[in-house]
């Protein structure tokens, strides 16, 4: 494995607040995307997403090279569950620390994915989107469009995102569908068992080049520059992210982007 280019930046521009994490070891490359907590309190002075990816990064550093995808996900699940139990007592119904992951196994020549991180192999995009995200981002877009027709300005909404406020109750309840099969179910590593159907395994045998990224990139391209340029164009044209790229949040004042973002391109 050889890293061609890599980049990671938190939406606030501060490394300590970045809920994405890039892990590179002798046998694995991984991008971890911490879930932005809605109600979860800070643990060890870290947000739930940041706490979760730090735990996972440490665990991946000790992975046995021959692990299967199922074994890796179970180890990450166990590690997070144990770490949370040692540090916090969360109230029932609270969304705990969680993260999505995409991992390349050098030994198995496989890519493993849980959640909606971005993957490209030899230029072919393998997209994944949670049905619940389509619902919430579309609902937010509708509310913003309706407000603009009523005379509210985009500047007003950038300061006070009424679309985000509208979908907030939905976002707070989303975790009840985590790792639950069914219409709104989705996979995530949060300490609960991840069913096989939420663990994607891609054969990378014969693949020459792989790109991983978190969903802080609206669209994934074969190079970092192309991905960054497209993000910049989206933020300039549609800072509310309700037209060109539907999102559950826009570019908030004082932030450098709408979400944390991580990109790594490597040869295998």
For residue 57, what pLDDT is reported? 97
- C-alpha 69/C-alpha 105 separation (Å) is 9
Q: Give the residue ranges of the chain where pLDDT is below 50.
A: none
Q: Which two tokens stand for residue 126?
A: 């393998």
Contact call for residues 50 and 130 (beta carbons, < 8 A): no
pLDDT of residue 105: 98
- Domain membership of residue 166 (yes or no) is no
147 domain-assigned? no
Per-residue pLDDT at 21: 97
Measured from the Cβ of residue 76, the count of other Cβ atoms closer than 10 Å reads 25
The reply to whether 24 falls in a domain is: yes
CATH code assigned at 112: 3.60.40.10
- Its domain, for residue 8, covers 2-129+178-237+255-267
The answer to whether residues 210 and 104 touch, using CB atoms and an 8 Å cutoff, is yes
> Who's near 210: CB < 8 A, 6+ residues apart?
29, 104, 111, 119, 120, 121, 204, 265, 266, 267, 268
Q: Is residue 115 part of a domain?
A: yes
Q: Using CA of residue 37, residue 87, residue 179, residue 77, what is the dihedral sign?
A: positive
Is position 142 within any domain?
no
Q: In 3D, which of 7, 12, 79 has the Cα closest to residue 252?
A: 12
The pTM score is 0.95
Render pLDDT for 242-264 as a digit per residue (tens, 0 to 9).
998 999 999 998 899 999 999 99
Rounded to an integer, what distance in angstroms lies between the CA atom of residue 37 and that of residue 41?
Answer: 8
Looking at the domain assignment, is residue 167 inside a domain?
no
Number of H helices, E strands in the chain: 6, 10
The answer to the question of residue 154 being in a domain is: no
Task: Work out how many domains the chain is built from and give that number.
Answer: 1
Angle between helices 69-87 and 48-60 (to 10 degrees): 130
């Amino acid at each position: 494995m050889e890293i061609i280019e890599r980049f990671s930046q938190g939406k606030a521009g501060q490394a300590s607040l970045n809920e994405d994490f890039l892990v590179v070891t002798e046998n694995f490359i991984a991008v971890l995307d911490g879930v932005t907590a809605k109600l979860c309190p800070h643990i060890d002075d870290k947000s739930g997403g940041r706490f979760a990816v730090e735990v996972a990064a440490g665990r991946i550093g000790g992975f046995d090279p021959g692990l299967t995808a199922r074994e890796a996900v179970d180890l990450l699940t166990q590690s997070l569950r144990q770490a949370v139990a040692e540090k916090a007592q969360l109230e029932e119904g609270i969304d705990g620390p969680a993260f999505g992951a995409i991992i390349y196994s050098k030994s198995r020549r496989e890519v493993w994915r849980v959640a909606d991180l971005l993957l490209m192999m030899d230029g072919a995009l393998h997209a994944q989107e949670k049905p619940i995200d389509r619902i919430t981002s579309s609902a937010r877009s509708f509310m913003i469009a309706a407000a603009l027709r009523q005379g509210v300005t985009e500047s007003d909404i950038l300061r006070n995102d009424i679309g985000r406020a509208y979908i907030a109750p939905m976002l707070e309840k989303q975790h009840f569908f985590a790792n639950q099969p069914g219409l709104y179910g989705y996979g995530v590593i949060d300490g609960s068992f991840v069913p096989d159907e939420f663990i994607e395994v891609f054969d990378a045998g014969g693949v020459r080049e792989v790109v991983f990224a978190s969903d802080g990139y609206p669209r994934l391209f074969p190079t970092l520059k192309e991905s960054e340029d497209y993000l910049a164009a989206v933020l300039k044209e549609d800072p509310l992210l309700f037209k060109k790229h539907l999102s559950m949040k826009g570019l908030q004042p004082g932030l450098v982007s709408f979400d944390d973002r991580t990109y790594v391109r490597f040869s295998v």
